[in-house]
Every structure is written in C-alpha cells, then in structure tokens.
Amino acid sequence: MAAYILRRLLIAVPLVFGVLTLTFFIIRLAPGDPAAFFIQPGISPNVAEQIRQQYGLNDPLPVQYLKWLGNVLHGDFGRSFSRAQQPVLEVISEALPVTMTIAILTLVANFTFGIVIGVISAVRQNTFLDRFLTVTALFFYSMPEFWFALMMIILFALKFPLFPVSGLNEVGAESYGTLQFLLDRIWHLALPVTVLSINGAAGIARYVRGSMLEVIRQDYVRTARAKGLSERAVILKHALRNALLPVVTLLGSSLPFIFSGALFIEVIFAFPGMGRVTVEAIFARDYPLIIANTFVSGTLIVLGNLLSDVLYAVVDPRIKL
Amino acid sequence: MKSNKLTAAAALPLLLAATLLFSACSKPKGGGQISGSARDTTLVVAMLGDADYLNPVLGASVTSGNITGLIYPSLLQSEFDTSTGLLNYLALEKSLRPVKSDDGGRSPKGALARTWTMAPDHRSITYILRSDARWDDGKPIVAGDFKFAYRLYGNPVIASPRQQYLAELLGADKGSVDFDRAIETPNDTTLVFRFFKPVPEHLALFHTSLTPLPEHVWKGVGPEQFRESKLNQRPVGSGPYRLFAWNRQQDVTLSSNPACVLPKPGNIRRIMFRIVPDYTVRLTQLQTGGVDVVENVKPEDFGAMQRANPNVELKTVGLRVFDYVGWSNIDHDWYNKTRKLRPHPLFGSPAVRQALTHAIDREAIIDGYLGTYGTICNTDISPSLKWAYDDTIKPLGFDPALSVRLLEQEGWLPGPDGIRQKNGKKFSFTLYTNAGNDRRNYACTVIQQNMKEIGIDCRIEMQESNVFFENLQSRKLDAWMAGWSIGLEIDPLDVWGSDLEKSRFNFTGYRNPRIEQLSELAKAKMRSEDARPYWVEYQQILHRDQPVTFLYWIRETHGFSKRIQGETLNISGTFYNLDDWSLKPSANTVP
C-alpha cells in the first residue's frame, strides 16, 4: 500500500502544478484589472499604472510566469494585492484556523447525526418514523444554506435572542479568561455549525439509509439473525459496518471542504475564513491570493481522493491497492 | 475489541476539544482591562470591509479613511456648510469663511495649524503651526513631518492614491514636484507651500492639508518597502484615539488617548469597527444592539427597522450620489477601430437623447424604490452645492407622446414589428449594468418597459462589476446604467473633457468645447462664489444636450443607536465629527 500511496503522491505533483499554471493564465486573461480600484475621478491617472508596475503586471505574460515559477519553487507565493501587501501564506494561515474549527465541528456533527438518522430510517423502513425523518431530511437538504442561515438568525438571534448574530466573539472578549473565552466562542459557533450540519447531515442520512437498506437484505444478515444474535448486534455489528463502506469515501471528499471553507456561512456570520478569502480575492482580482487558494484546495482535493481510496482499502479487506 | 471501542469513544470528544483549543489559539491580541460592561463605553460600528493600510499615504478603503482620521492629526479642520454648500476650513485662530456658531458648527480644536496666510499673488501659502502637539511617542509634531509626508505622497514608487493633491506644487507642471522649493520649513512651526500658478485659497487649503507622518519613525523605510512595512500595522499617530487591536477581517479597535490635546476624546473609551460583510446581518446587529452604527440602509428596510426597535434612528444625508443612464454619443466601434469620431447611429443626436429622457418615468422609479429618499437629477451638480446649483432648470418630464414626436422628427418611424427604425436600422439596444444592485435592477426594469411603450427594443444585461467597468472603459457598451458619487469641489473634466484619450471617464464620448471653457473659467476664479455664472451655464448646456439621462439623486441613509449623542450627519462623511460623539451610559438595550 505504501508504494501505491507514494505513486499517487508523485502523480499529484505535476497535476497540482498543471492546475496552478492553468489558473495563472486564466485569471490574467479574464477581464478585470487588479488596479481597477484606483481608476476613479480624483485619483491621478498615474496611480493605476504605478500600482501595476509594483505588482509586476506590465511585464509580458511569459516573463511574469517565469518570475512566478521561480518564486513558487522557493515556496514564496508572493504578497496579496488587495490585503495591504500581506504575504499570501500569512493571509491563509490566519483564515485556516477559523475555517477548520467550523468544518471539523460540522463534519463530526454531520456524520454523527447523518448515520444515526440514516440507520433509524432504514431499520424502521416505511414506518411513520422513517417517512417523517425522510421528509424532514429532504426538507432541510433542499433548503439553500444562506437562506436557512438568515432564517436561523432572525429566529434565534432577533426574535428569541439566544445566540449572537455574527462574529467569533463578543465585544471586549479579549479580556476574558481562557475558559470564558472558549465558552463565548462556542456560543458564537452554535448557530453556524447547526446550519451547516443540519444541511449536511440530511444528505448523509439519505446516503446511509440507502446503503443500509441494501445491506440488511443480504444473506449474511439473515444468517446473523438466524443464529440468534440480538437485533442490536445484527444492525450495529454486521450490517452497519458494511453499510458504512460508501460513506467512508464521503469522508475523504469532505477534506477539501474542511480547508476551503463554507462561503455563505462565513459571509453571513462574518467569520474571516477561507471561503471569504477566496471570493474576495476573486472579486479584487488578487492574483497571488487566488493562486495560493487554488494551491490549497487543489492539493486537498487530490489528497482527499487518495484518502478515500486508502480508507476504502482499510475498511474493506477485499480491496487490494 | 474492548480497548478498540474505548479508543473510538474517546477519540470524538478529544477531537472536539482539540478543535476548540485550536480555535482559541486565534484569540485576538489586545489585553488591558475593560472595567464594568465593556459595551457601555464602546461604540461599535459595522463596516462592510476591513481596513487596508492604517497609513494616510496609502489607505484607500473607507474603513481605513475613518480610522486614520481618528488616529492621525490634521493640519486644518474642514466643514461642509449646508446653507451654501461650500467647504469651510478652520485653523485654531482663523477660518476661511465665518463660522456659524448657531448650528453647533465644528470647533477647530483638532487643527494643528494656528493660522495661515495666503500670499497676495496666490502662489504660496504659509502656515503657522501650534507648538504643543506631540506624536504618541512624545516627540513634537513639526513642520518637517509635513514635508517628509508630502515627499511620500508624491513618490511614484509608493503610488499614493492622493498624489493628485500635489498637482499645483512647484514643478508639478514639469512632471515632478521640486520638493526642496515647493515646500519650505524655515523652522519647526512654519510651513510654506509654493505653487507654479495662482491657486484659489480654498483649493490651496484643500490640497495642502494632507495628513503628516512622523518623520523620526518612518525615515528608515525606503519607498520599495513602504507598503510592506510592519509600521503600517502599528501606526504612530497623535489623534484622540490610538490603535488598540486589529484582528484582520474581524474588527479594528481604537482606544481613547486621554493625553491627546487635539482634541481630548469624549466619553467613548473604545471604538470598534466590526467587519460584517452581509447587509442583512448588519441590520440585524443594529436591531439587537450588537452594533451602534450601520451605514447605507436601503429604503425598503426603513419601515421594518423603525418598527422593530425604537432605539434605532435613521438619519439621511445628501445629496452626493446619483444614478444615470449613459448613452454613447459617438460610434464606439468606429472609434475603437479608427480613432475617428462619428455620431452613434442610435444615440448620436441630442433630440433623440431628449426623447429618451422624456420617455423614462423617473418619478415612477423614485416612487417605487427610493420614496422620499430620492429626488430627480438634472445634471451632475448637486442641489446640496447651493452656491452653484441652478434651481431654475425644469426637469424633462415624463411625456411619451412628446418623446414619440421627437423620435419621428428625427426619422425614427414604427416598423412592421412595432419597433421603430430609420434607414432599415432598428432602434434596439442592450442596457448594461452591474450585477447585484437592487436599485439599478429595479430602475432598469422600469426603463425597459418605458422603452417598449414608445416602440424601442431594450434588453437588460447584468455584468459582474469588474467586467462591467472594464467594458465601460474600453468603450464596448452603447447604453448602460451606472452612478457617480460627486466630490465636494466641482471638477467635471474627467467626465466631460473633449480629449477622449485624456478624459478617462468620458464613457459617452460627449464633446463640447464650451463645457471645457466654462470649467476652466470657473476654476480660475479665486473665490468659488464668483464662478456661479459659469456653473449655471454649464448646467443649462448639459440639460439641453442630455449627454446622459440623469435619473435621481439618492439621500444616503444611515442607522444609529439612540444611545449615541452629539452625532451630526454631514455630507462630508458619516463619521466626520466622531470625536465629538458620546454614549449615553447604560442605555444598552440588549444583554
């Protein structure tokens, strides 16, 4: 398996690199100008030109590419255009902890609730409980996240002010003790994580239900029941393990989500995470930041796929890599 | 098996705990103690975006502007006089125009200049500075700090967005300012600016009052490193507030500086600019008391806002912002291909453009969307600039019948499909605007309907803002809807100048030498008021030629918590007198 992983990683290098090169050219060929902000009445026409000069955008494209290539090979992704010349890796390292906190909490909640609901609906197939859970899950699954988030804010922050509207902490939280600070942070994370996980859990529940239904019709489940095992043992030990095989691959593909951020949630709840960084970079035509973000998410998609494949082999001994 | 289960059961809480600890690592910097309820002495302002540079030479974002205004000292205080529409400039012992004490006008106590003298030939201005002002680190603020800062503003490597302010200094006409002669500092409290031409006093005051930087702090930073310097995040200023903490993309907090003499801050101990990108959430925060100020509330939310929370008040200010429909006066395709001019096949004639304005029901757009927060716009001189505004101009009213007559006189007759045509060419165009603006979206729909009624085919296309702006600049659009926010000094040549290569914002290609002449004549007057006849003629010409259809002026509306006292809204900015605000104690509405 180690050889397989190594091979996949080696293939990933040119792949990610190709993606970056493509991004490099596409964003420069797309309409829009990073210095456009400085083209307005009252600002000297020279400013936009001077800014372009500073950013090195006046060089011919191949020259720009070679310069960029040299820097990236030295691990230097450059400085952000739109964020006051902050090194882009610093921008990303500030945004990542926020995004990861939300994403990991969400992911855990997703899979926990998703699996529980999925198993219950499958075991009680076609009962009222199953229908109720299925309809509710579909209801939440088909709801747009940003709208759902706004509704939750109106309900739980405005009508019943139980949770804060936005932000990561209260005003003045920097003077709290560590425990109080943590509790304040959890209080602020409650609404966004709920929104994200209800939506995601509903999807996973549908998945688990389908896969579970398939598995409990298998012969070996009947055998397990026939040999007198308790229903609990049959479902949790024999059926669930096998039903989770396809779900495990979902975990791998969730990896990019952990790092790339949930855009709507970040904008609505004013969290300075990766999703916002990416979109703001695109709107501002902040080339270095766009490329660095592409690098992060591209690498993660490749790694996520690899992880799914490896996990598959780990949980299913029949699969040999 | 048992131990396996245990690990799995323990792993989850461990993972969650680790995640939270990880998140706590990003605990904001800061420290210090906030006694009592922090919220009672903290003013929280919701902002759309973060500050870029907390440096007056570089700052370009709105948030940066608000913050540098509080952190840094200024040479003069400026004030917009709502009764005349003229800007007044105040030093400690002198003002350009008489100060009206009745409307509580701004006290000049924040000015660094004690007084100034304009040379009789209007080619130089001499300031006498106060000697008791100090930077945060205790060093005195001296004339040299201004000269030092102006060199930075003018340095092309630094690319300051404010270099236009240096346009009249000695040497600027030859390409680069001769700083040694243009700015002189005979001693620490005397500052002299010299110009290459006579400059009206109000313009001289406006352009010489850029914010200084402490030379002793910045002198080691080369121009190449200027933008990257860490000093941009730790500004040394001398205003009533100091930077307390800056958590990027979250909030910028200022704390009051009791030692400050320029002027002493009020009872607001902290000002937090909180970054909340989503509009609905900003409004909700204002309603729950999470923030105290939200700028640019949309008209459709006014009613709900005031019903939901009686502790919120809405204040309007204006008029500085207008929307218009641009018609390309010249044939852009032809111009782009040949650099030669010929009238646009649809919009080239003033009579057609008048007809289009008559066809657009501007009142309906205002009634339907802006209500009392909008008013018809005739030209780009704001009714707020009373000294220049021509109130005798009658708006071209909504009159489809007149519009049809004008079009038919011009040869645009109904075709077999109901769409007007002339010499086989259909009157059919696409109206472009930027995506994501509800107001323009609404106006476009009304206009499309209006056009249909007079037999003109109008399609609407929304473009992403960057793309829209680039298409506008490269003259690819025939008709579009956009807006301008006007400056408080009238300077229209960027928009109407005849040299299309130089006038970067003349997107319509409108050319009228008299407009340029009038602008130059008006700018050459040493007193703004004396230029009024020129500006009146200017407005009449624009009204006659209708190079664009001016739609409406917008009264900008901002929401404030009622616990703020002393705020006066002024066209020159929401926070222009923020250092005079105070907070009513314990009037906080929500826990």
Q: Which of A74-83, A135-144, B61-70, B578-587 has the lowest mean pLDDT?
A: B578-587
**% of residues, chain A, pLDDT over 70:** 98
Select from A83, A88, A146, A166 the residue whose CB has the most chain B CBs within 10 Å, as the one to mutate to test that interface.
A166
pLDDT at B179: 95
Neighbours of B438 (CB within 10 A): 11
Closest residue by Cα to residue B504 from B546, B474, B464, B532: B474
More confident residue, B292 or B4: B292
What residues of chain B lie within 8 A of the CB of A175, using their CB? 30-34, 38
Q: Left, alpha or beta for A192 (phi > 0: left; psi -120 to 50: alpha)?
A: alpha
- Check CB contact of A44 with chain B, cutoff 8 Å: yes
How many CA atoms does the CB half-sphere of B289 hold within 13 Å?
A: 17
- Check CB contact of B591 with chain A, cutoff 8 Å: yes
Q: Which of A21-25, A44-48, B250-254, B390-394 has the lowest mean pLDDT?
A: A44-48
Closest residue by Cα to residue B477 from B322, B335, B323: B335
Residue A72 has pLDDT above 50, yes or no: yes
Whole-prediction pTM:
0.84
| Binary contact (A97, B23; C-beta < 8 A) | yes
| Binary contact (A172, B42; C-beta < 8 A) | yes
- Check CB contact of A125 with chain B, cutoff 8 Å: no
pLDDT at B14: 59
Alpha carbon distance B502, B473 (integer Å)? 12
pLDDT at B445: 95
- Mean pLDDT of all residues in chain A? 86
Closest residue by Cα to residue A169 from B188, B290, B537, B210: B290
Alpha carbon distance B487, B510 (integer Å)? 21
- Check CB contact of A171 with chain B, cutoff 8 Å: yes
The residue-averaged pLDDT of A63-82 equals 89
- Check CB contact of A126 with chain B, cutoff 8 Å: no
Beta bridge partners of B457: B428
Element housing B559 (H / E): strand B548-561
Per-residue burial over B384-398, b if 16 or more Cβ lie within 10 Å, else e, is bbeebbbeebeebeb
pLDDT at B15: 59
pLDDT at B266: 72
pLDDT at A176: 78
Closest residue by Cα to residue B557 from B343, B327, B286: B286
| A33, A37, A270 member nearest B470 (Cβ) | A33
| Binary contact (A83, B248; C-beta < 8 A) | yes
Alpha carbon distance B523, B503 (integer Å)? 17
Alpha carbon distance B197, B382 (integer Å)? 29
pLDDT at B501: 84
Amino acid, res. B12: L
**Chain position carrying tokens 């106006």:** B443
Neighbours of B7 (CB within 10 A): 9
Taking CA atoms, B6 is separated from A233, B1, B256, in Å, by 17, 9, 54
Classify residue A272 by its DSSP letter. -
**Chain position carrying tokens 């372009």:** A52
What residues of chain A lie within 8 A of the CB of B506, using their CB? none
Taking CA atoms, B515 is separated from A71, B94, B518, B551, B591, in Å, by 51, 35, 5, 21, 58
pLDDT at B106: 58
Alpha carbon distance B7, B23 (integer Å)? 24
The residue-averaged pLDDT of B305-324 equals 86
pLDDT tens-digit readout, B12-33: 555 566 665 555 544 554 433 3
Residue B35 has pLDDT above 50, yes or no: no
CA torsion angle A230 A233 A235 A241 (round to 10): -160
Closest residue by Cα to residue B209 from B130, B113, B94, B114: B113
pLDDT tens-digit readout, B164-221: 999 999 999 998 899 999 999 999 999 999 999 999 999 999 999 999 999 999 999 9
State the smallest CA–CA distance between residue A216 and chain B in angstroms.
Answer: 23
The full DSSP string for B192-252 is EEEBSS---HHHHHHHH-PPP--HHHHTT--HHHHTT-GGGGS----SSEEEEEEETTTEE
Residue B76 has pLDDT above 60, yes or no: yes
Chain A residues 74-103 with a CB less than 8 Å from chain B = 79, 82-86, 94-95, 97-98, 100-101
pLDDT at A310: 85
Residue B588 has pLDDT above 50, yes or no: no
A and B: number of Cβ contacts within 8 A: 183
What residues of chain A lie within 8 A of the CB of B484, using their CB? 41
Phi, psi (degrees; rounded to nearest 5) at B527: -120, 130
Contact B293, B43 (CB under 8 A): yes
- Check CB contact of B176 with chain A, cutoff 8 Å: no
Residue of A nearest to B47 (CA): A270
**Chain position carrying tokens 């025939």:** B478
CA torsion angle B53 B296 B573 A35 (round to 10): 40
pLDDT at A314: 80
Alpha carbon distance A86, B248 (integer Å)? 11
CA torsion angle B512 B535 B394 B323 (round to 10): 70
pLDDT at B487: 84
pLDDT at B342: 93
- Check CB contact of A204 with chain B, cutoff 8 Å: no
The residue-averaged pLDDT of B527-540 equals 94
Alpha carbon distance B454, B355 (integer Å)? 10
Residues in Cβ contact with B177 at an 8 Å cutoff, skipping those fewer than 6 apart: B150, B154, B166, B169, B170, B171
Predicted confidence band of residue B419 (pLDDT cuts 50, 70, 90): very high
The residue-averaged pLDDT of B154-172 equals 92
Residue of A nearest to B472 (CA): A32
Neighbour-count burial of B510, counting CB atoms closer than 10 A to its CB (0-12 exposed, 13-18 middle, 19+ buried): buried
Kindly report whether the peptide bond that precedes residue B488 is cis, defined as omega within 30 degrees of 0: no
pLDDT at B302: 84
Radius of gyration of chain A (CA): 24
**% of residues, chain B, pLDDT over 70:** 91
Helix (H, G, I), strand (E, B) or coil at B460: strand
Contact B433, B444 (CB under 8 A): yes
The residue-averaged pLDDT of B110-123 equals 93
| Binary contact (A165, B284; C-beta < 8 A) | yes
pLDDT tens-digit readout, A125-177: 889 999 998 888 888 888 888 888 888 888 888 888 888 888 888 777 777 77
- Check CB contact of A50 with chain B, cutoff 8 Å: yes
E-strand spans in chain A? none
pLDDT at B5: 45
Taking CA atoms, A88 is separated from A19, A98, A287, A293, in Å, by 18, 16, 10, 9
Element housing A241 (H / E): helix A240-243
Residue A231 has pLDDT above 60, yes or no: yes
Chain B residues 443-472 with a CB less than 8 Å from chain A = 464-467, 469-471
What residues of chain B lie within 8 A of the CB of A110, using their CB? none
pLDDT tens-digit readout, B330-385: 999 999 999 999 999 999 999 999 999 999 999 999 999 988 889 999 999 999 99
| A36, A47, A105 member nearest B159 (Cβ) | A47
- Mean pLDDT of all residues in chain B? 87
Residue of B nearest to A178 (CA): B24
Classify residue B99 by its DSSP letter. P
Helix (H, G, I), strand (E, B) or coil at B68: helix
Q: Are strands B548-561 and B312-327 parallel, antiparallel or unpaired?
A: antiparallel
| Binary contact (B466, A168; C-beta < 8 A) | no
More confident residue, B253 or A170: B253
Neighbours of A145 (CB within 10 A): 18
Axis-axis angle for helices A88-123, A287-315 (nearest 10): 40
pLDDT tens-digit readout, B542-559: 999 999 999 999 998 999
pLDDT at B586: 47
Taking CA atoms, B57 is separated from B87, B209, B368, B374, in Å, by 23, 12, 42, 35
| A154, A157, A172 member nearest B38 (Cβ) | A172
pLDDT tens-digit readout, B262-279: 776 777 889 999 999 888
pLDDT tens-digit readout, B446-466: 999 999 999 999 999 999 888
Element housing B282 (H / E): helix B279-288
pLDDT tens-digit readout, A233-276: 888 888 888 888 888 778 777 777 766 667 788 888 888 888 88
ipTM > 0.90, yes or no: no
Q: Which of B391-395, B425-429, B520-524, B572-576 has the lowest mean pLDDT?
A: B572-576
- Check CB contact of A177 with chain B, cutoff 8 Å: no
E-strand spans in B119-189? 124-129, 183-187
What residues of chain B lie within 8 A of the CB of A277, using their CB? 249
pLDDT at B194: 97
Alpha carbon distance A89, A93 (integer Å)? 6
**Chain position carrying tokens 């969290």:** A271
Closest residue by Cα to residue A246 from A198, A200, A208, A202: A208
Contact B269, B283 (CB under 8 A): no
Per-residue burial over B234-248, b if 16 or more Cβ lie within 10 Å, else e, is ebbbbbbbbbbbbbb
Alpha carbon distance B50, B246 (integer Å)? 10
| Binary contact (B466, A36; C-beta < 8 A) | yes
Neighbour-count burial of B547, counting CB atoms closer than 10 A to its CB (0-12 exposed, 13-18 middle, 19+ buried): buried
Residue B535 has pLDDT above 90, yes or no: yes
Alpha carbon distance A154, A222 (integer Å)? 50
Per-residue burial over B150-172, b if 16 or more Cβ lie within 10 Å, else e, is bbbbbbbebbbbbbbbbebbbbb
A265-274, B106-115, B393-402, B497-506: range with highest mean pLDDT: B393-402
Alpha carbon distance A305, A9 (integer Å)? 11
What residues of chain A lie within 8 A of the CB of B52, using their CB? 82-84
pLDDT at B534: 96
Alpha carbon distance A268, A273 (integer Å)? 12
Helix (H, G, I), strand (E, B) or coil at B14: helix
pLDDT at B23: 56
| A31, A47, A175 member nearest B161 (Cβ) | A47
